[in-house]
Chains A and B, each alone.
Chain A
Amino acid sequence: MTNFNWLLDGSIVGVYLLVTMIAGLMVRKYVGNVEDFLVAGREMDVYLGIASLAATEFGIVTCMYTAQNGYEKGFAGATPGILMAVAMAGVGLTGFVIKPLRDSGVITIPELLEQRFGGRIRWAAGVVIVLGGLLNMGVFLRTGGQFLVLVAGLNVRYLEIMMTVLLIGVAVYTILGGMLSVLITDFLQFVVMSIGLILVTILILMNVGWEKLVTTVETQYGAGGFNPFVNSTMGWQYVLFNLMLNTAAVLTWQTIIARVLAAKDTRTGRKVYTRTSFFFVCRFLIPGIWGIAALATLGPVANTLEAMPTYLATAVPAGLMGILVAAMLAADMSTDSSYMLTWCSVIYNDILAPFRKQPWSQRKGLFWNRTIIALIGIFLLLYGLWYPLKGDLWTYLGVTGTIYLASISVLLIACCYWRRANSWGAAASIIVSAIIPVSYLVMEQLPSTAAFAKSVGPYYSGIATYLLSGAAMVIGSALKPGSRAEGSAANA
């Protein structure tokens, strides 16, 4: 049962897709070299940066997990958004890490790490970034397809077809226009996505009402629905893990950092951060309200991830439904295109770099970048089809993201501010922060260790990863022969 009207809503979605594709393809003529392709020739200004960052960091997957958080945890589920906004505003205002990073003129984070820790660390950091990033992105397609199938009332057997069509559409303009197409389409997608999000939220607040939303959360979760510290599924460990995770994401998540690196100067990059920071509260709270509305209307359901789209399928009237689907498609396309381009930039710039005996021509570089994006698309399709998601989505994303966020944030901070940091510390940090989350994910999937993984939980394992990764950097750096002398020389 859905209010999706194929003639009215289908036309709105069709027009949106057509305009986006045309805009994405039109700018491909401006791509003359690899720098144009990967960082838009470093010509991005503040407002385009805000639109692009907001659109990239809000996909259907975001909407699904934040709504799931709202459904399962009430208003307290928006805590990660508040923490991320605080972290982003702080980093933007102080320029912590992002200033030296942008000033260095690099295309990717590992490129900066090479200047301090050497080529091997650059390569290892590239591998870890791509591993964590692709595992993280692996669930985007299926979740996006799930939302669209439920909202549009399609048969679930069309889920895979929906995923494939979505991916091909995005891959075409990303492969041809790179970052330029991504920025232009991100801008259009930001506008469409925002209109849809705002209208649906106003509709929900008017139809369900604030009183009913609050009463539902009070009845279901008590004080824990409003305060994360007294919520039985959250607690201090949830808040601390999310504080570490979101601070590390703001400093090192390559899709976020790509906007700083594409900015026309450091000041512009910092402005993009400070002025986009409050968006991250909206990013969690707006879909969170949708999730709470689903709880108030549907009551308890078996699959909490599907509660919000199931609710919207009948709560949103025809006409607005087309805007909602276009908005969600916009959100998903901007995220997928940016993520594919970002991981491609690391594979090309950092992982393949040691295998290039001589510098490649711009033509060959562009060819390889486009090939890598196509291969990433194929991987995403296969991974999305075969990986069975267990537990809640936000936690999965947090654990896979931690594979690289923990070590790369430690490496980057040490690289910028600790003169005694060296390659031993960097290597130890990368190894520690990859082993703990990967072991946790594997143990969660194996029947013999699933109970143990559950007893430890993702938050303690996540906190341990960040702390031990930092400790590994300090101990590894201290153990390297001659490290004290190196540090003194660097200080001199």
Chain B
Amino acid sequence: MPKHLFWWALSMACVVWYSTITVYVAIKGAGDIRNMLARLGKNRNAEES
């Protein structure tokens, strides 16, 4: 068993969680950007017309 289990578990949790969330947010965030720009573009067109 590693020494100082609390800090070991927290450090490993950070590496695993951060790696997972990076991939997940990278995929889902790209979708958010597309939708946000589409909504803003639509609002802009509505204002102009």
Contacts and interface: CB of A to CB of B under 8 A. Distances in A.
Interface string B17-48: 11101101110111111011101110110010
Interface in A270-299: 278-279, 281-282, 285-286, 289
A44 B7 contact: no
A30 B18 CA distance: 32
Interface of A, secondary structure class, is helix
A239 to B, nearest CB: 16
Given A195-B22, A198-B19, A279-B21, A286 B39 contact: no
B11 A289 contact: yes
Contact of A50 (B2, B14, B29, B35): B29
Interface in A77-119: 78
Contact of A47 (B17, B29, B41, B47): B29
Interface string A202-234: 100100001100100000000000100000000
Interface stretch (A184-192, A335-343, A433-441): A184-192
A77 to B, nearest CB: 11
Contact of A187 (B29, B39, B41): B29
Contacts of A27: 37
Of residues A40, A195, A282, which shows the largest number of chain B Cβ atoms within 10 Å of its Cβ? A282
A73 B17 CA distance: 24
B32 A197 contact: no
B18 A282 contact: yes
A36 B47 CA distance: 13
B6 to A, nearest CB: 8
A194 B25 CA distance: 11
A45 B36 contact: yes
A211 B8 CA distance: 10
A194 B7 CA distance: 21
Contacts of A75: 4, 7
B17 A278 contact: yes
A202 B40 CA distance: 40
Given A198-B22, A286-B18, A32 B29 contact: no
A214 B4 contact: yes
B33 A184 contact: yes
Contacts of B17: 278, 282
Contacts of B25: 47, 50-51, 190-191
B1 to A, nearest CB: 11
A32 B44 contact: yes
Contact of A281 (B14, B36, B39): B14
A286 B11 CA distance: 7
Given A46-B32, A211-B3, A214-B4, A197 B37 contact: no
A484 to B, nearest CB: 47
A41 B42 CA distance: 12
A214 B2 CA distance: 10
Contacts of A30: 37, 40-41, 44
Of residues A45, A197, A226, which shows the largest number of chain B Cβ atoms within 10 Å of its Cβ? A45
Given A36-B40, A45-B36, A214 B15 contact: no
Contacts of B39: 41, 43
A164 interface: no
A115 to B, nearest CB: 27
Of residues B4, B11, B44, which shows the largest number of chain A Cβ atoms within 10 Å of its Cβ? B11
Contacts of B24: 47
Of residues B19, B21, B37, which shows the largest number of chain A Cβ atoms within 10 Å of its Cβ? B21
B36 A44 contact: yes
Contacts of B21: 50, 279
B32 A48 contact: yes
A226 B22 contact: no
A285 B15 CA distance: 10
Nearest to B22: A194
A289 B12 CA distance: 11
Nearest to B15: A201
A47 B4 contact: no
Contacts of B43: 41
B20 to A, nearest CB: 10
B18 A48 contact: no
Nearest to A289: B11
Contacts of B33: 48, 183-184, 187
Contacts of B22: 190-191, 194-195, 198
A265 to B, nearest CB: 13
5 contacts: A48-B29, A48-B32, A278-B13, A279-B18, A281-B14
Interface of B: 2-4, 6-8, 10-11, 13-15, 17-19, 21-22, 24-26, 28-33, 35-37, 39-41, 43-44, 47
Interface of A: 27, 30, 32, 36, 40-41, 43-48, 50-51, 75, 78, 180, 183-184, 187, 190-191, 194-195, 197-198, 201-202, 205, 210-211, 214, 226, 278-279, 281-282, 285-286, 289
